[in-house]
Chains A and B, each alone.
Chain A
Amino acid sequence: MSRIIVVTSGKGGVGKTTTSAAMGMGLAKKGHKTAVIDFDVGLRNLDLILGCERRVVYDFVNIINGEATLNQALIKDKRCDKLYILPASQTRDKDALTLDGVEKVLEELKESFDYIICDSPAGIERGAHLAMYFADDAFIVTNPEVSSVRDSDRMLGILSSKSKRAENNETPIKEYLLLSRYNPARVKLGEMLSVEDVQEILSLDLLGVVPESKAVLNASNSGTPVILDEASDAGKAYADIVSRYLGEEVPQRFIYEKKKGLFGRLFRG
């Protein structure tokens, strides 16, 4: 039974595409056949983050318009043969997506994939709406600051009222909170909202915290999903998140500041 996951946030720049790429790679590496779809038509980014920008021939809109088949457009990842990418069209806009077209593509993907990750564009308009409409699960990516939290809250409202599941009165979309760009030191100084603050406002279960990390930018620049940088904080955090999503019990990390060892204390700075 395949599941459609939407990675969404409302606000832009919080880490949706980074999360989509990392989750896609993480699930694929665990042996699940996974497709990641870029819904950000006109502002295509996912291909860059996954490092397949030079292999894009056909895109999502081509399939919807019947100009290519799904197999022609899907790009197989070179590092993991269970991961496929469906890039967005860069020359079109969100109006090129239709509800029927999206449904057809998702139905076809469901036949052969275990997980289908929809990387939502920012905002709450057409692109974001279509990305979440057919979802079974939702990853709400939030940064620990007030505007991001409010936008996430708005998005949660839309998930619970305007999705296919909501409209058909089915079991609601399962929502997971993913707190990214978290910096425990700044939380301690009161410059950032804490995990508890965000959870209290959103009343959601926390899937995981991704610490603010240089590794994320490096990974994006090199076209490698950050989850493959196994030594980095962010890579470990995403690995935990994938495991937790798959039902494994993994304790939360990166929420509190690491205690500095003796050397750390001696050479504080």
Chain B
Amino acid sequence: MAFDVTLGQYIPGESFVHRLDPRTKLIMALALIVVLFMIESFIGYLWVAGFLLLAIINGDIPLSSITRGLKPLTLIILLTVILNIFFTEGTQVLWQWKFIKITQEGIAKGLLLGVRLILLILSTTIMTLTTSPLAITDGLEYLLSPLKKLKFPAHELSMMLTIALRFIPTLLEETDKIIKAQMARGADFESGNLFRRAQNMVPLLVPLFVSAFRRADDLATAMESRCYRGGEGRTRLNELVFQRADYFVLGIVLPVLVLVVVLF
């Protein structure tokens, strides 16, 4: 593997944005999504864009990682813009050919929706670029824990997420090892028709699944012998604590965003 799977998109850093509590960043990303759906003017978007730009500059996020996040949506963004430009009814007709006409309203609406999509993706991308997956998992557990009263397994989910994150590299390594081991025993993954080739995968996949389940078994035993009994009354080594920066963001930046919605 050329990249570290467990880190994902995360780019380590020490900036203000990086050091924010993961809960703060989750709340802000969610708030931005809501705000973006409520704003319907360019001035409002400009505020959000400015805010995101500050986060990008502060977090020292390279442009290439941002474009990578936007890439899967390029087609949709372009289509939204183009369709809205051509098919929005309006009074200010700028250019017309048979039933297709470009109106001022159409251009405005197309661009508005395009900008909204880009900003939507940006707000979540910035969070995942500046927060490690484990930190996000922790933050999610804290934020979802009120739902425990409704029997939602918040602690269990984040524990499972942590375990899954831990085991992906192990399983990848294991796959590689099994492929080599079976090839050393004369397994052939490259010749024969497709059905034959699929069948040749069986000696590869069965050991992989068996070893994964064995690991799950061992892990459960290990956890239980260390007296793991779910989230109740569990303490942690690193508690998430809101710092002054988090109070600043949640107490000042968030209300400003709400104000933007009200004003624009």
User: Do A and B make up one complex?
Assistant: no
- Which residues of A pack against B, CB within 8 Å? none
- Which residues of B pack against A, CB within 8 Å? none
